[in-house]
Amino acid sequence: MAEKLSAGKTGSLTAVKGMNDILPASVPRKEVLPRSATWQWFDDVVRRVMARYGYQYIVTPVVEPTALFVRGLGEVTDIVEKEMYSFTDSMNGDKLTLRPEATAGIVRAVVEHNALYNGPLRIWTAGPMFRHERPQKGRYRQFHQLDVEALGFAGPDVDAELILMGRALWRELGLSEGTHYRLEINTLGEPAERRAHRTALIEHFEKHQDVLDTEAKNRLHSNPLRILDTKNPAMQQMVEAAPKLIDFLGEESRAHFDALRKLLDAAGQPYRINPRLVRGMDYYNRTVFEWTTDHLGSQGTICGGGRYDGLIEQMGGKSAPAIGFGLGIERLLLLVQELDLPGPDFAPAAYCVLASDDALPQALPVIEALRASGLDVVMHSGVGSFKNQLKKADGSGARYALIFGADELAQGMVTVKSLRDGAGAQVQRPLAEAASWAAALKA
């Protein structure tokens, strides 16, 4: 049976709505999305920071059993109720879902492979996630997420470590504390404490049913904690007056939160306690946190996470504490772009200008020797005028043009012309000794 294909006005196929191509800078663009060089730069920054803190890389499937997310995230969550891309496998009838977040899949992998057998584990991953929601700036149906997890650690020291890792990442990206981002923290306590708070919340909301919107009424008895996260202006005053979870905390939960605050204070990390910070998944307990900004309009959260000490057991594993965070890469890179911060510099060291096709047999060994020395070298493809090739060289951002002219080649030489510092200055170098003068092009 032929499938109906989605096509644009010209009849050509287009990407699915809310799912975007990440393009090189040289391709004309209509979208405001960061270019592929910016993504590469971000990947490099992330790998440096993860290695600095001792976190190892993990990869999990994009498709998981639907039951994984229903059990892990909670049936009464926006993600499970409204946003998941779920389908039935036509081969065997399995119920499958494109992953809407990373933590549940990571926990599934940890349980399946008994990954905590040798002790606690620090891991991270990055990749595409999928949620069927209205596309808007910084919020897409296919989006990319960086996810960091510390599994098997119970103390507030690792809570602080993850938060300070976030700060290290922001600094590496050029963001400034207070000016570009801020930290909010809260504690959700333990299940028994939340149950007592939940009962008090329901009683409070029942007294104000005339103020509740339809979504809040639907959540009143299934997930009243999520009502605290409402963005409805008409409900704000009523929500502000709701019972605070912190008033229901026991001694251990308070001690954990106090210890976290003391560590953040010692590290010089400012924060604001936000008693309405609950996060969107059911699995969180104790510490929760968010990094927010005022520079992206209503999409103010750039990173969020918290502790989920019961999830590993809930997924069928042996009980073990855990904490993690996730951040939307598109949203974070849009922030970097919005602030016009110094970004990636992927300009090559040199651009090669060729007198003719006949120059290539002599030029190519030199180009390869320079590349083997660790230099990024772009070779002009197809012979053009010297003027046009030099214009291309300058447009590439290269620091030097390597000119393989007929006169130079006849003498076994290449002209190295500076295109940036001391622009116009040039020297000749021997073709046969490229490896020895390559270092001069790295400076």
3-state secondary structure 201-268: HHHHHHCCCCCCCHHHHHHCCCCHHHHHHCCCHHHHHHHHCCCCHHHHCCHHHHHHHHHHHHHHHHCC
State the pLDDT confidence band at 231, using cuts at 50, 70 and 90: confident
Same domain for 382 and 333, yes or no, is no
Q: What integer pLDDT is reported at residue 395 of this predicted model?
A: 85
Q: What integer pLDDT is reported at residue 386 of this predicted model?
A: 80
Which CATH number do you get for residue 70?
A: 3.30.930.10
Domain for residue 404, yes or no?
yes
Domain for residue 29, yes or no?
no
Query: Percentage of the chain with pLDDT > 70?
Result: 93
Same domain for 260 and 289, yes or no, is yes
Same domain for 331 and 435, yes or no, is no
DSSP H/E element including 401: strand 400-404
Instruction: Write out the residue range of the structural domain in which residue 355 sits.
Output: 350-442
pLDDT: which is higher, 135 or 368 = 368
Domain for residue 232, yes or no?
no
- Terminal Cα distance for the chain, rounded: 61
Same domain for 282 and 375, yes or no, is no
pLDDT: which is higher, 263 or 407 = 263
Domain for residue 355, yes or no?
yes
Q: What integer pLDDT is reported at residue 280 of this predicted model?
A: 62
What is the per-residue pLDDT across 144-165, written as a single tens digit (0 to 9) for each?
999 999 999 999 999 999 999 9
Domain for residue 239, yes or no?
no
Same domain for 366 and 318, yes or no, is no
Domain for residue 419, yes or no?
yes
Q: How far apart are CA 238 and CA 303, in angstroms?
A: 27
Same domain for 315 and 359, yes or no, is no
Q: How far apart are CA 418 and CA 398, in angstroms?
A: 9
The pTM (predicted TM-score) of the whole model is 0.81
Domain boundary among 283, 303, 338: 338
Q: What integer pLDDT is reported at residue 338 of this predicted model?
A: 81
What is the per-residue pLDDT across 371-391, written as a single tens digit (0 to 9) for each?
999 989 998 877 678 888 888
Q: How far apart are CA 136 and CA 50, in angstroms?
A: 30
Same domain for 319 and 365, yes or no, is no
Q: How far apart are CA 320 and CA 310, in angstroms?
A: 7
Q: What integer pLDDT is reported at residue 46 of this predicted model?
A: 95
Q: What integer pLDDT is reported at residue 36 of this predicted model?
A: 84
Same domain for 319 and 367, yes or no, is no
Number of structural domains the chain divides into: 2
Which CATH number do you get for residue 409?
A: 3.40.50.800
Same domain for 434 and 365, yes or no, is yes
Domain boundary among 338, 360, 390: 338
Q: What integer pLDDT is reported at residue 281 of this predicted model?
A: 65
Domain boundary among 290, 314, 338: 338
Same domain for 324 and 181, yes or no, is yes
pLDDT: which is higher, 4 or 160 = 160
What is the per-residue pLDDT across 192-224, written as a single tens digit (0 to 9) for each?
888 898 899 999 999 998 889 988 888 888 888
What is the per-residue pLDDT across 406-421, written as a single tens digit (0 to 9) for each?
888 999 999 999 988 7
